[in-house]
Amino acid sequence: MNVQDEVRWERLKPAEFIARRDACPIVYLPMGLCEPHGHVAPFGLDTIKAEWLCLEAARRFGGVVAPTQSWHIHECGYHAPWLREVMDGINPLLAALPAHLVLETLLYQLRAFRNGGFKAAVVISGHNGAQDDLRMVARHFSAAFPFEHFVASDPELVKGLFHGDHAGRYEISQLLVVSGDLIALERSGRVATDALGRFAQNPDAAEATVEEGRAILDASLEHIGQVVKAFHLAAEPADFVPMAALVPVWQAIDADRAHWCTADPLPLATPSL
């Protein structure tokens, strides 16, 4: 890759970072986690597709991609009973964190983006289900410190065009395009014979195609492009936000914890190892 084409914050030197930021002061944050995606796909499918969308969006529309947030919310809210259903007591080998840690982390990530001179953030979560709480955090931050934002899970980008799933035709088709070498469709039949059982795999995983994956990704990027064009990107510099200034913002978010969609952790039986 030519150094001029690099879009990742962690790989940019100061001159290149500032040039990209000043040309388009938008930052992209990919979010995902490691969770079971059947026998055919890797644990990090959610992370991989979110990262690909953010990288491609930055290359097409401008801006910088922030370091990927590879730990996410699981085992609470509606995810808890879902996990019991699709795992049947098998250890899911999750990379999950409690909701309050992920949400407070996002709050401070938004601070870093604003202090870094960005005018807007695009947060793409490859893990579906917690995005209402992510948006809630972004709203609280922007109410205290004006900052444009767009937060969505990847199925929301194609709502009305494609139906999202978990380790099924929709998700597997995307990864066939993004990194097809990570997919093993020949293993789709293992749900009936393997000791891991279903391992959260959808019955239609073997129906995934490269053609459908390209259509999903193209539609997703078109949506992100529309979002980027709609940002106003105020020209005036923003005041520096110290860490201490976020304490009351988080306190207000935390006080409303009973209304988080990720609230009310439900106890899971200890998975077999």
What is the DSSP secondary-structure string of 1-38? --GGG--BGGG--HHHHHHHHHH--EEEEEE------T
> Domain residues of the chain, as ranges?
3-160+218-235
**Residue 271 in this model has a pLDDT that exceeds 50:** no
What pTM does this model have?
0.95
Report pLDDT digits (tens) over 49-63.
Answer: 999 999 999 999 999
pLDDT band at 4 (very low <50, low <70, confident <90, very high): low
What percent of the chain is modeled with pLDDT above 70? 95
**Residue 78 in this model has a pLDDT that exceeds 70:** yes
Alpha-carbon distances, residue 10 vs 14, 31, 53 (angstroms):
10, 16, 17
Report pLDDT digits (tens) over 17-31.
Answer: 999 999 999 999 999
Cα dihedral 49→51→53→54 (10° resolution)? 160
* Separation CA 126–CA 222 (nearest Å): 17
**Residue 186 in this model has a pLDDT that exceeds 60:** yes
The set of residues, in sequence order, having a beta carbon less than 8 Å from that of 125 and lying 6+ positions away, is 31, 32, 46, 50, 72, 131, 134, 151, 152, 153, 154
State which amino acid sits at residue 169: R
Q: How much is the pLDDT for 5?
A: 87
**Residue 269 in this model has a pLDDT that exceeds 70:** no
3-160+218-235 maps to CATH 3.40.50.10310:
yes
Q: What is the radius of gyration, based on Cα positions, of the chain?
A: 19
* Separation CA 269–CA 84 (nearest Å): 8
